[in-house]
Structure 1
Amino acid sequence: MADKLWILVGNASRVRLFSADEKGEDWRLVEEFRHDESRAHNGDLAEQRDNPNAGTLHGPPVETEPDARKELEHDRFARELSGHLDRGVDDHRFERLIIAAPPEFLGRLRKALSKRVLHRLMMDLDADYSNVPARDLPNRVPVI
């Protein structure tokens, strides 16, 4: 049986996915995602410069743009989350979606979401609640 609502809360390196009933109550942690590369310093990501898949065909070379590698990691994490949400749609695991993330990552995530997931997105909040304890989140994230 599908959860009525999924709530995705996080940032470019850590995301928690919760489910709730149709009233937005009874929050339960479904899964937690971490992307440590998004937290790494640019120098720590430098060894990946020779990876032919590390850059994009149309973007600046990683060597000439200081934050390019980190941005690529943020995009990679957004695509990973989007894929998970797509599988949730495929498996009929949720009907509605709320996302709370900082503006920069929220934009990347929205760009990565499929139309099927966007159709279920009822609200997005530009807020970083990644360090808010789970018990306090229902008071911070309004459920309509």
Structure 2
Amino acid sequence: MADKLWILVGNASRVRLFSADEKGEDWNLLEEFRHDESRAHNLDLQEQRDNPNAGTLHGPPPETEPDGRRELEHDRFARELSQRLDRGVDHHTFERLIIAAPPEFLGRLRKALSKRVLQRLVLDLDADFSNVPARELPNRVPVL
């Protein structure tokens, strides 16, 4: 049986995925995701770069611009999360989705989401609850 609701809470480097019943009660942690590259300094990321073909065909690769490599890592993490949500749709494991993330990462995540996932998105919050203890989240994230 499908969880009625999934709640994705986090930022560009750490995300927790919860399930809840149709009333938004009984939150259960399903998975935690970490993307340490999103927290690294640009100089460190440039030294770790292993893909010389990264970037665009129209100008310098984004990783050579200030904060460019970090932005690429944020996009990579958003795509990883999007793929996980797509698998949830494929397996019919949720019907509704709530996302809480800081505005910049929330925008990246929304761009990465498939139409199938976006159809299940009932609420997105511009808020970083990544450091809020799990037991407090139900009081901070409104469930429709």
Normalised to the residue count of structure 1, the TM-score between the two structures is 0.95
Following superposition of structure 1 onto structure 2, how do residues 99-114 of structure 1 map, counting pairs within 5 Å?
99-114=99-114
In structure 2, the residue matched to 1:137 is: 137
CA deviation profile, 1:75-126 (whole Å, cap 9, x unmatched): 0000000000000000001000000000000000000000000000000000
- Mapped to 2, the partners of 1:58 and 1:138 lie a distance apart of 45
| 1:131 alignment partner, SS class | coil
Question: Quick check: 47-56 or 107-116, which moved more?
Answer: 47-56
Q: CA deviation at 1:50?
A: 5.4
Q: CA deviation at 1:47?
A: 1.9
- Mapped to 1, the partners of 2:121 and 2:53 lie a distance apart of 31
In structure 1, the residue matched to 2:94 is: 94
8 Å CA contact 2:98–2:121 kept in 1: the answer is yes
1:37 aligns with 2:37: yes
The alignment covers a number of residue pairs equal to 144
Gaps of 5+ in 2: none
In structure 1, the residue matched to 2:72 is: 72
- The structure-2 alpha-carbon separation of the partners of 1:39 and 1:88, relative to structure 1 and needing over 3 Å to count, comes to same
Look up the equivalent residue of 2:18 and give its one-letter code. F
1:19 aligns with 2:8: no
Look up the equivalent residue of 2:104 and give its one-letter code. E
Q: CA deviation at 1:60?
A: 3.8
Superposed CA RMSD: 1.4
Q: CA deviation at 1:46?
A: 1.0
- Mapped to 1, the partners of 2:139 and 2:110 lie a distance apart of 24
8 Å CA contact 1:62–1:68 kept in 2: the answer is yes
| 2:85 alignment partner, SS class | helix
8 Å CA contact 1:54–1:69 kept in 2: the answer is no
Identity of aligned residues (%): 88
8 Å CA contact 1:4–1:22 kept in 2: the answer is yes
Look up the equivalent residue of 1:98 and give its one-letter code. I
Runs of 4+ in 1 over 6 A off after TM superposition: none
Normalised to the residue count of structure 2, the TM-score between the two structures is 0.95
